[in-house]
């Protein structure tokens, strides 16, 4: 028999399960050695293949057993990111309680995060903590196709033709608000601007009734919803604590109040120009049915949550930066004068769109102080990222991936002198965010789930700031505020005192 035939014979015996009986003891020992050797060779080849193909999992930041990096993360999330980044580079993992989080820092490694289809990378699992706040049947409580239909209603309600009329309301609210300021004084702008933003958002999104007939009540209920969104809610949204109980009661009460408003509008055939009206008239393409009162209320709460604090803290940071940067304050004032000379004193959508310097200031403020410091997704299937240095990592299914606007906006390889306030970096000729490539600037996210309210936010902040600076001189009294990273929407810490003085005559 040739050696080949012998081998075939042996294989056949192997398959028939008879091979052990045929092999004498010393040959069994030899076989065991061979099997062991084969295993060692295979394992070594696998490691060599992994090494050369660089297909490895991200480095894991060492943490305390059981709780993982949770203690550090809760106390100082940016500190944790900074440690991870310094030790491991742009991609690293950390265990937070029972979950593994992988941080992807910078545009080179965050493309899949923003662009991947929902079946590969999704929001629902990580943004579940919003469900009790928005209530059942909307956004993260429904399947993706329904959520997309609901966001389509929101897109309809925020399109330019609607935005034009909202701007008129924003201007009216801001003028009425600043008319109540005295001739001069010191004011905590944090509280004051938050009040103004809730008034404009109520008028334009929640509707006339919420603004004119039940403003105090609705504001209190929204406050209870706010207070029920704690860091612990992210991990345990239904933990039976007093703040969650109040949150749930507030949601129920808001649904009751808005149900009454919706019934009245329908009964009296009233049509208003607000987001509420868009939702009342909307129908699902898939079923042809109208939204229930509960869905309408839930979507209004979601829109308000997405847009209220984000705009409120941004207008405050803009004020703090402008009052600390005399050159830019003077430039913004000059721009207002120029616009008034060219278009008159009236403020509308077109006029606000022409305020390029103020736009640059807001954009730069959002680079340094993005209200959402971390964005998250859940990974459904493994994918690979490659860092700027060319190292590839496989991000495993089951990880939560995190990208950070705050961190990405401070990368020296993208932004020149990144800690300095320099709105010119976005002006034609430099455009550092474009030079850096897609997802270099992510204050409004990007890709599949980019912000739907970006234009609304810009218009609101521009309207407020134009009216403020046309009528008052402003000076920051407190020291420049730090960031409160313990809150979901990162605003300045403590109160923010500003001295104001009414101009003898408004800017002209």
- Where do contacts with ligand HEM occur on this chain (CB under 6 A)? 151, 154, 303, 306-307, 310-311, 314, 366, 371-372, 375, 443-445, 449, 451-453, 456-457
Distance (Å, rounded) from C-alpha 248 to C-alpha 301?
Answer: 13
Q: How far is the CB of 157 from ligand HEM (least distance, A)?
A: 8
Q: Tell how strand 99-104 and strand 400-403 pair up.
A: parallel
Q: How far is the CB of 158 from ligand HEM (least distance, A)?
A: 6
Q: Which is nearer to ligand HEM, 184 or 281 (CB)?
A: 281
Sign of CA dihedral 137, 138, 139, 144: positive
Q: Which of 374, 355, 387, 356 is nearest to 490 (CA)?
A: 374
Q: Which is nearer to ligand HEM, 154 or 401 (CB)?
A: 154
Q: Which is nearer to ligand HEM, 58 or 453 (CB)?
A: 453
Contacts of 396 (CB under 8 A, 6+ apart): 57, 100, 379, 382
Q: Which is nearer to ligand HEM, 261 or 306 (CB)?
A: 306
Q: How far is the CB of 218 from ligand HEM (least distance, A)?
A: 16
Q: How far is the CB of 190 from ligand HEM (least distance, A)?
A: 16
Q: How far is the CB of 126 from ligand HEM (least distance, A)?
A: 9
Q: Is 496 annotated as a binding residue?
A: no
Q: Which of 355, 392, 396, 399 is nearest to 377 (CA)?
A: 399
The DSSP result for 449-490, as a single string, is G--S-HHHHHHHHHHHHHHHHHHEEEEE-SPPP-B-TTSSS-
Look-up: residue for tokens 């050696």?
A: 3
Helices first, then strands: H and E counts in the chain: 22, 10
Distance (Å, rounded) from C-alpha 190 to C-alpha 165?
Answer: 27
Look-up: residue for tokens 């403590």?
A: 494
The two tokens of residue 122 are: 């999704």
Q: How far is the CB of 376 from ligand HEM (least distance, A)?
A: 7
Q: Which is nearer to ligand HEM, 151 or 235 (CB)?
A: 151
Q: Which is nearer to ligand HEM, 171 or 340 (CB)?
A: 171
Rg of the chain on CA atoms, in Å: 29
Residue nearest to ligand HEM (CB): 453
Which residues define the annotated binding site for heme?
451
Which residues define the annotated binding site?
451
């Amino acid at each position: 028999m040739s050696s080949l035939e012998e081998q075939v014979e042996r294989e056949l015996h192997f398959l028939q399960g008879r091979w052990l009986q045929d092999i004498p003891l010393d040959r069994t020992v030899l076989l065991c050695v061979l099997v062991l050797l084969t295993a060692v060779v295979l394992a070594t080849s696998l490691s060599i293949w992994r090494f050369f193909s660089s297909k490895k999992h991200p480095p894991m930041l060492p943490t305390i057993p059981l709780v993982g990096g949770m203690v550090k993360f809760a106390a100082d999330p940016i500190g944790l990111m900074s440690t991870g980044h310094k030790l491991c580079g742009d991609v690293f993992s950390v265990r937070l309680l029972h979950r593994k989080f992988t941080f992807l820092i910078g545009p080179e490694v965050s493309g899949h995060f923003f662009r991947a289809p929902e079946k590969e990378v999704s929001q629902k699992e990580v943004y579940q903590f919003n469900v009790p706040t928005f209530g059942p049947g909307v956004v993260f409580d429904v399947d993706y196709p329904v959520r997309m239909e609901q966001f389509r209603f929101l897109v309809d309600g925020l399109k330019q033709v609607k935005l034009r009329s909202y701007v008129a309301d924003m201007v009216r609210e801001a003028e009425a608000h600043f008319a109540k300021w005295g001739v001069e004084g010191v004011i905590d702008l944090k509280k004051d601007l938050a009040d103004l933003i809730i008034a404009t958002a109520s008028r334009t999104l929640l509707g006339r009734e919420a603004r004119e007939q039940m403003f105090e009540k609705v504001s209190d209920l929204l406050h209870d919803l706010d207070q029920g969104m704690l860091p612990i809610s992210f991990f345990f949204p239904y933990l039976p604590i007093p703040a969650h109980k109040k949150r749930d009661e507030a949601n129920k009460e808001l649904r009751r109040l808005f149900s009454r408003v919706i019934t009245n509008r329908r009964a009296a055939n009233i049509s208003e120009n607000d987001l509420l009206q868009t939702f009342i008239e909307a129908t699902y393409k898939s079923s042809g049915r109208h939204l229930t009162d509960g869905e309408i209320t839930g979507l209004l709460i979601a829109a308000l949550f997405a847009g209220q604090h984000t705009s409120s803290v941004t207008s405050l940071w803009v004020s703090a930066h402008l009052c600390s940067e005399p050159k830019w304050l003077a430039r913004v004032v000059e721009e207002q004068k120029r616009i008034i000379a060219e278009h008159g004193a009236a403020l509308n959508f077109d006029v606000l769109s022409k305020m390029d310097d103020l736009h640059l200031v807001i954009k730069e403020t959002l680079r340094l102080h993005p209200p959402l410091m971390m964005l998250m997704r859940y990974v459904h299937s493994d994918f690979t990222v490659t860092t700027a240095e060319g190292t590839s990592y496989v991000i495993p299914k089951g990880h939560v991936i995190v990208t950070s606007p705050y961190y990405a906006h401070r990368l020296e390889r993208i932004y020149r002198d990144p800690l300095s306030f320099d709105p010119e970096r976005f002006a034609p000729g430099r455009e550092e965010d474009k030079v850096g490539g897609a997802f270099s600037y992510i204050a409004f996210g990007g890709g599949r789930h980019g912000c739907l309210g970006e234009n609304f936010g810009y218009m609101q902040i521009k309207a407020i700031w134009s009216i403020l600076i046309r009528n008052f001189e402003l000076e920051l009294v407190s020291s420049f505020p730090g960031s409160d990273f313990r809150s979901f929407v990162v605003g300045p810490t403590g109160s923010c005192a500003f001295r104001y003085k009414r101009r003898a005559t408004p800017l002209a």
